[in-house]
Structure 1
Amino acid sequence: MGNMVEIVVYGTEQLCASCVNLPSSKETYEWLEAAISRKYPEQPFLISYVDIFSPPEDEEKRSFAKRVVEEDLFYPVVLVEGEIVGEGNPKLKAVYAEMEKYGYKSEDKKG
């Protein structure tokens, strides 16, 4: 496997209007981190959370946070290596599929 994949979750503490019954962006970030760690044990990855209203100095993250606000994307928006894999209520299957393109291998134990 090559380099570590970077996953970025963009969102805010406030729920988006159409996401009332869904977890917050921060909760989604924590859930994703735990789920990915279980799915790909011993396979390192980077995951970070970016608040769209107070993004970090990193120009790429700042620019995408601005795009989430300007284009009214449903947050949280989940990116794997810069590709949007989920908006609003991201699906683990989509995140896993994108990670497997980079060589991650599932270590699920079946029956």
Structure 2
Amino acid sequence: MKKEVEVIVYGANQLCPSCIHLPSSKETYEWLEAALKRKYPEQPFTIRYVDFTNPEMDKDKEFSERIVEEDLFYPVVTVEGEIVGEGNPRLKTIYKEMEQYGYEAK
């Protein structure tokens, strides 16, 4: 593994208007965290949930503003700052990005 990556799920308490029948942002975060831990056991990574309507950390504010300005579908999933999914993120795409950083499926 090249380095420990940071995965961030940006979402909001309110469901995305275009994503009515999909899980909430928080549910997506929990599902993604569990899936990544199963796929890459004993391979450390950081995963965080950020409410983009009220980001607590300064480093999340700029991206949170981008979500609003570009009218992105949420949740928005990033790996090392690169968008890898929005609205209904696909595990296959996220796994592919993780493997670019040296993560190996177990």
Q: TM-score, normalised by structure 2?
A: 0.97
Structure 2 residue matching 1:16: 3-state secondary structure: coil
Structure 1 residue runs of 5 or longer lacking an equivalent are none
Runs of at least 4 residues of structure 1 off by over 4 A?
A: none
Between the aligned partners of 2:57 and 2:87, the Cα distance in structure 1 is 24
Structure 1 residue matching 2:67: 3-state secondary structure: helix
Between the aligned partners of 2:21 and 2:81, the Cα distance in structure 1 is 27
**Paired residues for 1:66-77 under 5 Å:** 66-77=65-76
Count of equivalent residues: 106
Which residue of structure 2 lines up, in the alignment, with residue 90 of structure 1? Answer: 89
Q: CA deviation at 1:70?
A: 1.4
Give a deviation string over 1:15-56, Cα, whole Å, max 9, x none. Answer: 011100000000000000000000000001000011011002
Structure 2 residue runs of 5 or longer lacking an equivalent are none
Which residue of structure 2 lines up, in the alignment, with residue 27 of structure 1? Answer: 27
Q: Quote the sequence identity (%).
A: 67
Question: What is the root-mean-square deviation of aligned Cα atoms in Å?
Answer: 0.8
**Paired residues for 1:44-55 under 5 Å:** 44-55=44-55
Structure 1 residue matching 2:18: 3-state secondary structure: helix
Which residue of structure 2 lines up, in the alignment, with residue 4 of structure 1? Answer: 4
Larger radius of gyration: 1
Q: TM-score, normalised by structure 1?
A: 0.93
